[in-house]
Structures are given as structure tokens and as C-alpha cells.
Amino acid sequence: MIPNEDRKIREKFQQRTWNEIKTNDSWAIFKIMAEFVDGYERLSKIGPCVSIFGSARTKEDHKYYKLAESIAYNLTKNGYGVITGGGPGIMEAGNRGAARGKGTSVGLNIELPFEQHDNPYIDSDKSLDFDYFFVRKVMFVKYSQGFVVMPGGFGTLDELFEAITLIQTKKIGKFPIILVGTKFWSGLLDWIKNTLLEEGNISPKDLNLISLVDTEDEVLEVIDTFYKKYNLSPNF
């Protein structure tokens, strides 16, 4: 265990005075409010966008990086902007494709100890920095007309399952959630079907919340098909 982690664990068990608790928590509330206000004000006019998620560790020459860039480019050419986590890897690919397509390119960045830093393909007026993961996730859900989920790690899974949970519990309206990469995602989907569903922990209809595709054209087809049911287009 690295020293910083050890220190944080020890601090959790240290007795704090009421004044310390009140002061720290009060300032945290103001910081959280400020992030919400800044996010709402700056993202309220970006227009219809699709969020692209995936690993920050994916290199530029990887097939998933190139596919994410193509997906983003295709989306912008069909009227959608692109939102990513603002960092490297798949996020960079998404912003890069959006910039190449001359569409809206949004980055919701967060400071992380290892791989996270702003990528250079975000619109200068649409790069936001967050300290709190939960505030950042609210922005993804609130301002996206769809989630495109590329192969990734724990952070990608966190964003995927939060969106599924919010839709399943009807806390938000339904929107397309698209997993890209049959080879990568098949094992997870098999476990969901063969374990969660078999154990009765989800309903059969919950499986309809997710689409699985392999190409940029299929991504756009899923999104367009979903919104055509409501006579909506990217210009709504």
C-alpha cells in the first residue's frame, strides 16, 4: 500500500472536533454547488450530444482508438456533438473525431493520480474540470442523448451501470446505451443473462436497455432508430 493511501485510511479513524467537521463539510458543499452551477451554465447550450466512454489507457494506434474516432466523426457529420471525459485514450479519440468533423467537442475532465489530463481536441469554451466524480456523472447523463461505451476499465463500467440503473429505476428518461465491441463485451453480457437474469435479480426487459454493435454505422443506426420513434432529429 502506498503511503498516501495509508494516510487516508488512518485519517478516517481519527477523532475530529465538531468545528473541524462543520468547517470541512460546509466548504465541501459550496465546492459541490459551484461545480453544478458551472456545469449547468456552460453545458445548457451545447445542443444534442452523444457521450463516448472508454479506457484512458488505449493508445493511438489501437483499433478501438481508431474506431472511437470514426464513431465521433460520423456522429458529428449527422448533427450530433460529442461529450467525453476529456482525457487521453478513447476520450481523446472521441474529441479528435468530433473536431475533425467540425462538430461540438466537449470534455468533462477530472484530476486523477495516473493517466488523466486534458486532450487538445476539446473546444476551448467546452472544457470543464471537476473534483467530484458524482457531479461529473450528472453532467454526462443530463446533457447526453445517448451513451456509446467503448472497451474500458472500472470507470467505464461505473458510468455504464449508473446510466442503466437510472433508466431501469425510471429516475431518468430512456436513451440509447450502445456497447461497441462484441468480443470485448460478450463475456459481461453473458454473465448478466446467465447469472443476474437467471437469479431473478433483473427482468428480461432490462436486457433491452443495451445494444451491442461493432461499427460506426451501427452506432448511428441505433441512435437514429431510437429517436425516429418520437419524430425527433439531432436538431431538436
Structural domain contains residue 27:
yes
| CATH number of the domain residue 176 falls in | 3.40.50.450
- Rounded to whole angstroms, the Cα distance separating 139 from 112 reads 18
Q: Which residue segment(s) compose the domain that 182 sits in?
A: 16-228
Q: Identify the pLDDT of residue 111.
A: 79
pLDDT-above-70 percentage for the chain:
86
- Rounded to whole angstroms, the Cα distance separating 165 from 223 reads 20
Structural domain contains residue 52:
yes
Structural domain contains residue 5:
no
Q: How far is CA 162 from the centre of its chain?
A: 10
Q: What is the pLDDT of residues 137-152, one digit of tens each?
A: 999 999 999 999 999 9
pLDDT averaged over every residue in the chain = 91
End-to-end CA distance of the chain: 51
Look at residue 235 and tell me whether its pLDDT is greater than 50: no
Structural domain contains residue 1:
no
Domains identified in the chain, total number? 1
Q: What is the pLDDT of residues 154-180, one digit of tens each?
A: 999 999 999 999 999 999 999 999 999
Structural domain contains residue 51:
yes
Structural domain contains residue 4:
no
Q: Which of 161-170, 214-223, 225-234 is predicted least confidently?
A: 225-234
Look at residue 234 and tell me whether its pLDDT is greater than 70: no
- Rounded to whole angstroms, the Cα distance separating 66 from 63 reads 5
Structural domain contains residue 6:
no
Q: Identify the pLDDT of residue 33.
A: 96
Structural domain contains residue 33:
yes
